[in-house]
């Protein structure tokens, strides 16, 4: 019988992740907790089935590549620039504080300073997935304080990228001098600059060109394959040629793809792959977790939790308030970042590979992550409730409000645009003859029309004319989100395929239950299915043709000699 260890590891890992992920969601926790527990259950430290840890780690490496590729793909300097006066000093200050306190905890139990430094950096980085979840639960994603928190986390991600470059410089023995450490750090940064320069010169020219040519073939499979090849190839070449971590190469690959005019569809195609392998990444992290080590070193775990749940929120709140920003913004940032997640594990895995951090650090980190992620929704709500306590003291509240309003938050966030609720947006799906007519009519009626189409040349032509047009599949949530479906007034679906139209309406309704859906279809018997899917009005080609022919018959028009088929 042939070896199926890879298949069994994936099958049991994903099955366990699904079951425990559903249970975690049911209990009001992030699914990541369920994925980690699933890894523990199929790992070597618990009875029953044991997956292949070596294979799981390689699958996890793919997960890391796709996670970092996604970070680079969605990295926008303009979003960070808008909140730079809060996010940059805030993230740097909080990261330094968390690193220092983490270092003190580890040195106190006898660790070397470089191992403690890496573990301190690992706990300073919060999880993007967990942050966005709590912001969505409280309707704060588009609010000022929510966007500040996201920008804050973007800075932390950049810090993570820099740390991944410098980790090899920290892998020294007791005989290495401080000068040797600086030399290794300088060499690592030099390699990063060379790699970045090569990608900037070659990759930024070649990759967008390649994706554009593949997009013109209108083959979804080839386009998805192209995106995957770019992510894997740049990450692997960076590792083999420059010794850079694959996570770093994947981040740079994402930034290169983001320069392409078809980046929206590339992001939408990469997301399902990223999510699947990210689950395997968390499962593999759980497989290496030995719960007995947590009980063997309780002071280490408690110390890390104290830094994550107390030091990080308090420092974040103080930085925001001292910077003359509103208390609500400070509380939102403090509550949202009081946890650790995927990037903490990436840093820890890189440190373990470089033999800097002992296995006990990994076990303590996973234990602290499970606890902090589990209680984060509850903690976030309690931290926001502090604003009500402050309101009970009018003098304190008025003083804080005056600080925020006088050269404070309004000045810091003057470039942070907010969605205009009064602006009427119309999304036109498909830019054939019907879509073009709908687009012109929408403009005549004063709508800000946005076009989505799978014809890349049509999209490029519209963009050249200054029209907001996206290349992508309208059935994908990511494409409709970028088109602004969450706050759009209406969506006009002109594509003839019934299945694609139904999926588009369903996705748009999920993003915005109030959106008006106007749909064109070829056949009259499709109308009831479209209405059942959420269409407000359906126009079918059969009925329009029948009406037009009836009118022509009544008009008794003479036969056209030159072209009898045209009336």
Residue 356's pLDDT is 85
Which range among 61-75, 435-449, 484-498 shows the weakest confidence by mean pLDDT? 61-75
At residue 496, the 3 state secondary structure works out as coil
* pTM for this entry: 0.77
If we measure between CA atoms, which residue out of 339, 269, 299, 263 comes closest to residue 98? 339
The pLDDT of residue 275 is above 70:
yes
Q: How far is CA 476 from the centre of its chain?
A: 15
Residue 316's pLDDT is 92
The pLDDT of residue 287 is above 70:
yes
- Average pLDDT estimate for 350-355: 81
Note the pLDDT tens digit of each residue in 466-498.
889 999 899 988 899 889 898 899 999 988 888
Which range among 141-145, 345-349, 461-465 shows the weakest confidence by mean pLDDT? 141-145
The pLDDT of residue 206 is above 50:
yes
The pLDDT of residue 27 is above 60:
yes
How many Å from the N-terminal Cα to the C-terminal Cα in the chain?
72
In angstroms, the CA 561 to CA 552 distance is 16
In this predicted model, which residue has the larger pLDDT, 550 or 429?
429
Local confidence band at 345 (pLDDT 50, 70, 90 cut-offs): confident
* Share above pLDDT 70 across residues of the chain, in percent, rounded to a whole number: 87
In angstroms, the CA 539 to CA 441 distance is 15
The pLDDT of residue 555 is above 90:
no
In angstroms, the CA 2 to CA 480 distance is 45
- Average pLDDT estimate for 10-37: 89
Using DSSP, how many helices (H) and how many strands (E) does the chain show? 28, 6
Cβ-contact 45, 289 below 8 angstroms: yes
Note the pLDDT tens digit of each residue in 115-166.
888 899 999 988 887 888 888 788 887 777 888 888 888 888 788 878 887 7
Angle of helix 263-287 relative to helix 220-242, nearest 10 degrees, comes to 60
Q: What is the DSSP letter of 486?
A: G
Residue 551's contacts (CB-CB under 8 Å, 6 or more residues apart) are none
- 195-215 burial, b at 16+ Cβ within 10 Å, e below that, comes to bbebbeeebeeebbebbbebb
If we measure between CA atoms, which residue out of 262, 146, 152, 257 comes closest to residue 206? 257
Q: How many angstroms separate the Cα of 238 from the Cα of each of 51, 75, 170, 467?
A: 30, 20, 20, 37
- Average pLDDT estimate for 416-437: 76
If we measure between CA atoms, which residue out of 71, 484, 108 comes closest to residue 267? 71
- Average pLDDT estimate for 530-552: 73
In this predicted model, which residue has the larger pLDDT, 550 or 354?
354
The pLDDT of residue 421 is above 70:
no
Residue 556's pLDDT is 55
Residue 548's pLDDT is 58
* Share above pLDDT 90 across residues of the chain, in percent, rounded to a whole number: 15
Q: Scan for tokens 């749940």, then name that residue.
A: 309
Residue 543's contacts (CB-CB under 8 Å, 6 or more residues apart) are 524
The pLDDT of residue 15 is above 80:
yes
Q: What is the DSSP letter of 495?
A: -
Which range among 21-25, 304-308, 550-554 shows the weakest confidence by mean pLDDT? 550-554
Which range among 9-13, 73-77, 82-86, 292-296 shows the weakest confidence by mean pLDDT? 73-77
Catalogue all structural domains in the chain, each as residue range(s) with its CATH number: 5-386 (1.20.1530.20), 425-555 (3.40.50.720)
Q: Scan for tokens 């947590």, then name that residue.
A: 294
């Amino acid at each position: 019988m042939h070896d199926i260890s890879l298949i069994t590891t994936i099958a049991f890992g994903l099955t366990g992740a699904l079951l425990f992920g559903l249970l975690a969601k049911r209990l009001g926790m992030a699914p990541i907790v369920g994925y980690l527990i699933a890894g523990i259950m199929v790992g070597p430290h618990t009875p029953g089935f044991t997956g292949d840890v070596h294979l799981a780690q390689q699958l996890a490496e793919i997960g890391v590549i796709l996670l970092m590729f996604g970070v680079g793909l969605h990295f926008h300097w303009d979003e960070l620039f808008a909140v730079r006066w809060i996010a940059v000093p805030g993230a740097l200050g909080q990261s330094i504080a968390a690193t220092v306190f983490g270092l003190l905890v580890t040195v106190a139990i006898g660790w070397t300073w470089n191992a403690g430094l890496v573990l301190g950096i690992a706990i300073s980085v919060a999880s993007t997935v967990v942050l966005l979840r709590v912001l969505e639960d409280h309707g704060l994603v588009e609010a000022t304080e929510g966007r500040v928190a996201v920008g804050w986390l973007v800075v932390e991600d950049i810090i993570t990228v820099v740390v991944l470059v410098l980790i090899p410089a920290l892998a020294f023995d007791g005989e290495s001098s401080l000068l040797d450490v600086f030399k290794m750090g300088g060499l690592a940064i030099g390699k990063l600059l060379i790699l970045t320069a090569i990608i900037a010169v070659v990759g930024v020219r070649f990759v967008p060109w390649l994706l554009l040519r593949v997009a013109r073939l209108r083959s979804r499979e080839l386009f998805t394959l192209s995106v995957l090849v770019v992510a894997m190839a740049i990450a692997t070449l960076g590792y083999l040629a420059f010794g850079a971590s694959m996570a770093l190469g994947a981040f740079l690959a994402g930034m290169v793809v983001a320069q392409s005019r078809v980046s929206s569809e590339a992001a939408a195609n990469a997301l399902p792959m990223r999510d699947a392998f990210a689950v395997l990444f968390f499962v593999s992290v759980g497989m290496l977790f030995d719960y007995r080590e947590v009980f063997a070193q309780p002071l280490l775990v408690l110390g890390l939790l104290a830094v994550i749940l107390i030091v990080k929120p308090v420092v974040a709140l103080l930085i925001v308030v001292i910077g003359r920003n509103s208390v609500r913004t400070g509380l939102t940032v403090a509550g949202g970042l009081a946890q650790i997640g995927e990037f903490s594990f990436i840093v820890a895995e890189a440190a373990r590979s470089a033999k800097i951090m002992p296995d006990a650090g990994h076990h303590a980190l996973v234990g602290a992550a499970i606890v902090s992620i589990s209680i984060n929704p509850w903690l976030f709500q309690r931290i926001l409730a502090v604003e009500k306590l402050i309101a009970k003291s009018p003098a304190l509240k008025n003083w804080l409000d005056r600080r925020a309003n006088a050269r404070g938050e309004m000045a810091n966030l003057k470039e942070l645009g907010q969605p205009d609720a009064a602006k009427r947006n119309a999304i036109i799906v498909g830019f054939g003859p019907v879509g073009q007519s709908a687009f012109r009519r929408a403009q005549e009626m004063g709508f800000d029309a946005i076009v989505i189409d799978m014809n890349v040349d049509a999209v490029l032509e519209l963009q050249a004319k200054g029209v907001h047009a996206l290349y992508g599949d309208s059935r994908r949530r990511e494409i409709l989100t970028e088109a602004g479906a969450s706050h759009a007034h209406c969506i006009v679906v002109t594509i003839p395929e019934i299945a694609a139209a139904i999926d588009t309406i369903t996705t748009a309704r999920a993003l915005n239950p109030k959106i008006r859906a106007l749909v064109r279809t070829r056949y009259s018997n499709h109308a009831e299915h479209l209405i059942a899917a959420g269409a407000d009005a359906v126009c079918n080609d059969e009925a329009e043709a029948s009406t037009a022919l009836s009118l022509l018959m009544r008009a008794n028009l003479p036969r056209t000699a030159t072209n009898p088929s045209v009336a």
